[in-house]
Amino acid sequence: MYSIRIGKGKEKQLEKHHPWVFSGAVDKVIPSFTTADWANVYNSEGTFIAKGWYDEKSHIILHLLSWDPDEDTDESFVERLVKNAVFRRKDYFSSPDTTCFRLIHGEADFIPGVAADSYGREIRIIISSRFAEHFLPVIINTLTDLLSPSRIQVTTDPFYSSSEGLSDKVRYFINGKETNLSKDDLKNTLFLESGLWYEAAPGKGQKSGFYCDQRDNRNAIEKYVKDKDVLDVCSYTGGFTLHALRAGAKSVKAVDSSESALRHLLYQIHLNENKGTLPPASREKVEIEAYDCFEYVRGIEENKYDVIILDPPKLAQTKGKLENATRAYKDLNRVAMMKIKNGGIIATFSCSGAMTRENFLLTLSWAAADAGVEVQVLETLSQAPDHPQRLSFPESQYLKGFILRVIK
């Protein structure tokens, strides 16, 4: 176990339970680093702050995990963290209409670099830290003992694989044991969300294959789309499109850069028609187009759409990319405000962690001013509650959205 002293003036956020410590905050490490291990962390005067996991090969060299000096930090401690995260979501397991939800939400659940989602009886894990890689056997075994999943899939967040030195191999575990699966074994996973059916393909994809953090927001747009012409921009496999169809939209145009995602969107419409969860002939209301979403919005006809949904991918992974991302968000929303019908509805989102809610709202106000329109904020949206926001870790509040009315 290491004993780590934090530099003077660098301890304030850590004492308030922020879990990240970067190399510049560390004043002294005893003994010198050899391999990743647990650490007791003290301020410059020798007062205990927290216990954490120290690894100089990680881009975040110290993750704080417990502020209790009497806590025993070992594998059983990590096992308790996993169990507690799952138990906090116990109500989801009895939901009759939703079988896809987050089980572990990284640092917000005190487990650095681990995102685990339940897809019916399958679990999909994305890891983004060396801590997660080191304790993956504990995480796998604990989830297996608790939930008896049919299969656990593990992938690595590509943004962190290089900086953390993680393999990008897709791994599968059955009954807690890593297993080599053939293509014939890798069938799509069928699951329910808010009464609608979805399928997610195994292997690599956006997030763990589905954006369950948008669950409540997909439900929220239903009240605005009945008998309306809807444009779903960056639709991916069609979560918002399916909800628009269920709520009685007159038509939906779905646009995404991925042709395969759009084809899967159409398949999921047929799936829900067959199961009776979408009205008959829903497919006839939908048109798809594979195109760069930012360019597509520029070219749409004015006053054609009553509702526009803007759900672009993460544009600012870090603060260094925020300036360019802000320009992109402003331009996308400005053009949408100019093109939409008078009184039309825009549901707009940012999943960039570096973009705060306040900055996003300010960016939208700049877009409205440049578009020469007035905008009313009808609803303020966020990630679903199975993706909790930890107050001592502001970075866990990453998804922000607004439902806007545009007045020309």
**Residue 320 confidence (pLDDT):** 73
For 350-408, the pLDDT digits (tens) are: 998 888 999 999 999 999 999 999 999 999 999 999 999 999 999 999 999 999 999 99
* Interval 101-115 mean pLDDT: 97
Helices 75-87, 136-147: crossing angle, 10 deg rounding: 40
**Residue 204 confidence (pLDDT):** 58
Give me the chain's average pLDDT, please: 95
Residue 207 pLDDT exceeds 60: no
**Residue 339 confidence (pLDDT):** 98
- DSSP 8-class letter at 363: H
Are 11 and 49 within 8 A, CB to CB? yes
Q: Comparing C-alpha atoms, which of 160, 3, 145 is closest to residue 69?
A: 3
Distance CA 362, CA 170 (A): 40
Number of helices (H), then strands (E), belonging to the chain: the values are 11, 21
Q: What values do phi and psi take at 249, rounded to 5?
A: -60, 145
Q: Rounded to a whole number, what is the distance in angstroms from the first to the last CA of the chain?
A: 64
For 254-269, the pLDDT digits (tens) are: 999 999 999 999 999 9
Distance CA 350, CA 309 (A): 12
- pTM, whole model, 2 decimals? 0.93
**Residue 185 confidence (pLDDT):** 81
Q: Comparing C-alpha atoms, which of 196, 241, 223, 193 is closest to residue 381?
A: 223
For the chain, domains (ranges, CATH) are 2-71 (2.30.130.10), 76-185 (3.30.750.80), 211-407 (3.40.50.150)
For 292-310, the pLDDT digits (tens) are: 999 999 999 999 999 999 9
Are 144 and 125 within 8 A, CB to CB? no
Are 213 and 106 within 8 A, CB to CB? no
Cα 234 → chain centroid: 15
Q: Strand, helix or coil at 340? A: coil
Q: Comparing C-alpha atoms, which of 223, 263, 214, 217 is closest to residue 246?
A: 223
- DSSP 8-class letter at 303: T
* Interval 112-123 mean pLDDT: 95
**Residue 230 confidence (pLDDT):** 98
Comparing 15-24, 149-158, 315-324, 391-400, the range with the smallest average pLDDT is 315-324
**Residue 226 confidence (pLDDT):** 98
**Residue 68 confidence (pLDDT):** 97
**Residue 208 confidence (pLDDT):** 59
Are 56 and 63 within 8 A, CB to CB? no
For 17-61, the pLDDT digits (tens) are: 999 999 999 999 999 999 999 999 999 999 999 999 999 999 999
Distance CA 243, CA 253 (A): 13
* Interval 211-228 mean pLDDT: 97
For 169-206, the pLDDT digits (tens) are: 999 999 999 999 887 788 889 999 999 999 988 875 55
Q: Exposed (0-12), middle (13-18) or buried (19+): which is 35, by Cβ within 10 Å?
A: exposed
Q: Point out which residues pair with 229 in neighbouring strands.
A: 251
